[in-house]
Each structure stands twice: as structure tokens, then as C-alpha cells.
Amino acid sequence: MGIVIENEFTVAAAPDAVYELLTDVERVAPAIPGAEVLGRREDGAYDAKATVKMGPMSLTYKGTAEITESDPVARTAVLKAKGADQKGQGTAQALMSMGVEPDGEGSRVKISSDILVSGRVAQMGRGIMENVATRMIGEMAKALEATLQTGETVKAENPNAMGAVIGSIFRRKEE
């Protein structure tokens, strides 16, 4: 299943500082719920791991993440991540286009994620995946803002997406 998910959020920090953090894979990974950088590769990519909780199901993907495009003047970048489920039950790929622009005293971050998944998580459906992504982006925004304000790396909460799953089921029944 391939889907595109659009998200945006504001952060009380200068656009250049937000952009610098977003393009530093090692520093931004803790702000992404369930993400962890395992080490840097010789080619500039990073070995990474991500765990996503969807109700009773917990999926752990191991693979790579790298910034494939970066324009500091326009404050845009593209992060490519891909991995395989550790239980051999699927794969995930994401192409995340990021842009940072001034917004009052802070910054507006726009993220477009083109996600392609296979295996068990693909059976969950688009609505559930969008709700889970929205919750994860919300946690990411909080952690990014805290990291920028304190200067210390703040790890995002990894929300259990059971609420998103239940919400999607009820919305589908109402439609």
C-alpha cells in the first residue's frame, strides 16, 4: 500500500535552527517516535531502527535513513528511509519531504511523507495509517521544540496507536 500523508506544525524556534535540526539525522531521530540511529555508514547513510505500535501489534523495522536532498537557502530537504520488519513480515519505505518557513516568532514545518508498506501493517488501511502518522508527527513536534528550547536532545513519546485504530473504525462506520 502506498500513501502520501501531509502534516504541518509550528515550532517556537528560528527557521534556520529548525532546519539545521531536521537535517541532522542523528539529532532528529530521537524526536521521531520509536526511531533510533544505530550508527553511521561509510556512504553517509545511517543504520536505523523504528518501532511502531498499532494497538496490540508492535512492528520493528531495521534499515537505513539518509538525507538525499538538501537546500539550506530554501530550507527544504528530503529524508529517505527504508527497512524490513524484524519478524520478516513486511517492509516499509518512506520519502519525507520537509520544508521550514518563518511563522511569526517561530517556524512552520511542512512534511509530506510518501509511504509504501507491505505485510501486516498494510492491512490496517489508509485511515488508520494517517491517524497514527498524525499522532507521531504531534509527538515529533513536541520533542523538536523541547530540543530546540533546551539545547538537549529530547526523546519523543511513542504513542500506542490504539486510539487511532479505534477512532478510524468508528469514523468508517459513520460514513
- Taking only the tens place, the pLDDT of each residue in 66-79 is 999 999 999 999 99
- The neighbour count for residue 25, using CB atoms within 10 Å, is 20
pLDDT in tens, 110-163: 988 888 888 877 777 677 777 777 777 778 888 888 888 888 888 887 765 444
**pLDDT at residue 162, as a whole number:** 44
Domain that holds residue 167: 2-174
Residue 16 pairs with which residues in a beta bridge?
none
CATH classification of the domain holding 76: 3.30.530.20
Average pLDDT, integer, range 54-59: 73
pTM of the full structure: 0.80
Average pLDDT, integer, range 46-61: 83
pLDDT in tens, 3-50: 888 888 888 899 999 999 999 999 888 888 888 999 999 998 999 998
pLDDT in tens, 78-114: 999 999 998 888 898 889 899 999 999 999 999 888 8
Structure-block grid coordinates of residue 117:
508498506
Full DSSP string of 97-157: EEEEEEETTEEEEEEEEEEEE-SGGGGG-HHHHHHHHHHHHHHHHHHHHHHHHHSS--PPP
Give the chain's domain count: 1
